[in-house]
Amino acid sequence: MLKHSVVLMGAALMLSGCMETELASHWWKSWGDGKRDTRVASVSEGNFKVGKPYHQSGQWYSPTESYSYDETGIASWYGDQFHGKRTANGEVFDKNTLTAAHRTLQMPSLVRVTNLENGRSVVLRVNDRGPFSKGRIIDVSHQAANVLGFTNKGTARVRVQVLARESRIVAEAARKGYPPHVQMAMAYRRDAIPEGIQVASASTHELPALPAPASVTPSDIDNLNKQLYRKYPVTPTSLYIQVGSFSNVNNAILLKQKLAGIGNVNVCPPVINGQTYNRVRVGPVSSTSEADTLLSRVITAGYPNARIIVD
């Protein structure tokens, strides 16, 4: 299923300061009764998929198997319209589970999504394609939006980070035909990874033991997801439209001059791993609606790859 809702920021856009994490499972009680819709199979079929480049809503996208993805931007959510239908990798979409759609990441993969406006953070399983509206970087399930605290608002400023070790495990497990809840058990149970599945460096997650994958149930994974919830301190953020990034500062200055009539344009020169990236940005603006309007103006001016970023 290709959804119709609605580059990389890099490691430099880390949340400022050292974040103190806390397991706040008491929040879970307010997220819903946890009942599963009988229209959705408890174990859905699916497979590992990256996919070929595709064209959607006037733009080309090139899916890539990535285990270093880290980006900030705007999240949206989807639910009833696609509930019970097939996702892009063949699973059944259940709006009441913690899943997400991404335009280019491999499916399945595990990402930590943090709402930068309230500090709530959960791990979501990417199993669909989208969003395709300009200015959005991820589309999360209704339940995920509820957990992250932006169901009523509709959008949120977020950071999306691939969990490298866990994503490699679920990818290999999917290739071997294991169902989604067993994939999750493999990713988070250290002593029960089946032979033939390669495990990367050790994870820092400290979680209670899960049942062996052969006996794990979707309810066990619901409990696991509660343990993966975090609550981070909130740091003020601003919205910008990033139009380009250049190693040559002269190219960045030239683009800045071309954009002078659109708004407040600046060149931000962060250094990442010894490399300077001269990023041309327009802004800041104070709201998502303002950012959407500004993004539309920039795209109309001839810069279709411009995007909204949070910094």
Q: Which CATH architecture has domain 239-310?
A: 2-Layer Sandwich (3.30)
Burial classification of residue 170, based on how many CB atoms lie within 10 Å of its CB (0-12 exposed, 13-18 middle, 19 or more buried)? buried
Q: Is 171 in a helix, a strand, or coil?
A: helix
Contacts of 34 (CB under 8 A, 6+ apart): 96, 222
At the topology level, CATH places domain 1-235 in Barwin-like endoglucanases (2.40.40)
Burial classification of residue 260, based on how many CB atoms lie within 10 Å of its CB (0-12 exposed, 13-18 middle, 19 or more buried)? exposed
Instruction: Quote the pLDDT of residue 45.
Output: 65
Q: Give me the residue spans of the domains in the chain.
A: 1-235, 239-310
Reported as a single tens digit per residue, the pLDDT across 263-300 is 899 998 877 777 788 999 999 999 999 999 999 999 99
Whether the predicted pLDDT of 132 surpasses 60: yes
Q: What percent of the chain has pLDDT over 70?
A: 77
Reported as a single tens digit per residue, the pLDDT across 140-192 is 999 999 999 999 999 999 999 999 989 998 999 899 888 898 888 888 875 54
pLDDT tier, 207 (very low <50, low <70, confident <90, very high otherwise): low
